Amino acid sequence: MLATRITQKEGVFYFVAFKAVDLLDHVSFSSRYYFEGERIDADEPGDDEVAKFIAGIEKSEKSFQRLLNRRKIRQIVNFYETAVNQPLIPGTILLFTDETLRYRINRLGGRSRQEKWILQSEVFNEVYKVVMANRRFFEERFQMRADRTYGLVRDYLKAVRDVMESVWGENDKFMFTRDVTLKALFRVFGDLLRNRKIVRGWDEERSAKAFTSVVKPWAEITREFRADGFYERFPAKGQVERVRRIHVKLTQALNLS
């Protein structure tokens, strides 16, 4: 199972795709509301001032959490019960472990004060596409384990950063580390994995050097990623088409046979 983890302030969240029938064998659910209408009362806040504040506003119609409409719950249940093909069921699960989950990677952008490059969930989605498109490669070499694959992805991105140092992170003047270009970079990465010579070079080097010579031609097209006129150079009706155009541009610049 593949998942992405997001750390925001003191909370840790996971996004996973998991079959509901299998999930029920591993977790238990609790809620203040049940379909039949029963209610689970919240614990008393005690002397906790924050808990008292939350308890005072959480059921207010003016607050962030409103009382659930029983008729709406019945409609949702009926929808899933009568669906011909089982649709995805969005849900929130609170996970408990014996160890404190440590902060590993920041959620780029979002509500944080950091400059937005790309959301972590978007990065996960692009990496997931690369893995699925090259599943046999990742199974044979890394047994589909993220910890074993990390070095490969890291070295590729290091090589790109080194070659494009003059525009990397300069988001006020360039669009190279914006979401549309970063997505295209991951797609180029997926293409490169199908080149035996490049993969063999990384196997021998196990460093960013294996990719540096490959992406070096990009240094000649840095001006293409200037913020001024970027959308004219990569015209598109939406982000999907723009990512594809950037992907094509980057691939053509490599001139791989």
Question: What is d(CA 28, CA 36) in angstroms, rounded to the nearest whole number?
Answer: 18
> Once rounded to an integer, what is the mean pLDDT over residues 197-211?
92
Q: pLDDT tier at 217 (50, 70, 90 boundaries)?
A: very high
Percentage of the residues of the chain whose pLDDT score is greater than 70: 61
Q: How many separate domains does the chain show? A: 1
Output the six-digit token pair for 204: 């021998």
Q: What integer pLDDT is reported at residue 3 of this predicted model?
A: 73
Q: pLDDT tier at 189 (50, 70, 90 boundaries)?
A: very high
Does the residue 230 lie in any domain? yes
The position carrying tokens 């689970």 is: 40
Give the residues across from 11 on adjacent strands.
8
> Once rounded to an integer, what is the mean pLDDT over residues 21-34?
57
Q: At what angle do helices 146-163 and 135-142 cross, to 10 degrees?
A: 110
10 pLDDT more than 70: no
Amino acid at 206: R
Does the residue 161 lie in any domain? yes
Identify which of 127, 134, 128, 125 has the alpha carbon closest to the alpha carbon of residue 195: 134
**Chain-centre distance of CA 228, in angstroms?**
28
Q: At what angle do helices 146-163 and 179-192 cross, to 10 degrees?
A: 110
Q: pLDDT tier at 64 (50, 70, 90 boundaries)?
A: very low
Does the residue 133 lie in any domain? yes
Does the residue 155 lie in any domain? yes
Q: pLDDT tier at 221 (50, 70, 90 boundaries)?
A: very high
Question: Where would I find the H helices in the chain?
Answer: 20-23, 49-57, 70-82, 120-133, 135-142, 146-163, 179-192, 196-205, 209-215, 230-233, 239-254
Does the residue 111 lie in any domain? no
Q: pLDDT tier at 111 (50, 70, 90 boundaries)?
A: very low
Does the residue 151 lie in any domain? yes
21 pLDDT more than 80: no
**What's the pLDDT tens digit per position in 114-147?**
456 777 778 888 888 999 999 999 999 999 888 8
Does the residue 76 lie in any domain? no
pTM over 0.75: no
Does the residue 181 lie in any domain? yes
> Once rounded to an integer, what is the mean pLDDT over residues 110-116?
49
Q: What integer pLDDT is reported at residue 92 of this predicted model?
A: 52
CB 197 within 8 A of CB 211: no
Percentage of the residues of the chain whose pLDDT score is greater than 90: 40
Handedness of CA 59, 61, 63, 65 (dihedral sign): positive
Mean of pLDDT over the chain: 76
163 vs 106, residue with greater confidence: 163
Question: What is d(CA 233, CA 177) in angstroms, rounded to the nearest whole number?
Answer: 16
Which has the minimum average pLDDT: 82-96, 121-135, 142-156? Answer: 82-96
Handedness of CA 173, 174, 177, 180 (dihedral sign): positive
**What's the pLDDT tens digit per position in 167-184?**
998 878 999 988 899 999
Range of the domain at 189: 120-254
Q: Is 195 helix (H, G, I), strand (E, B) or coil?
A: coil
Q: Give the number of other CB atoms < 10 A from CB of residue 206.
A: 12
Q: What integer pLDDT is reported at residue 24 of this predicted model?
A: 63
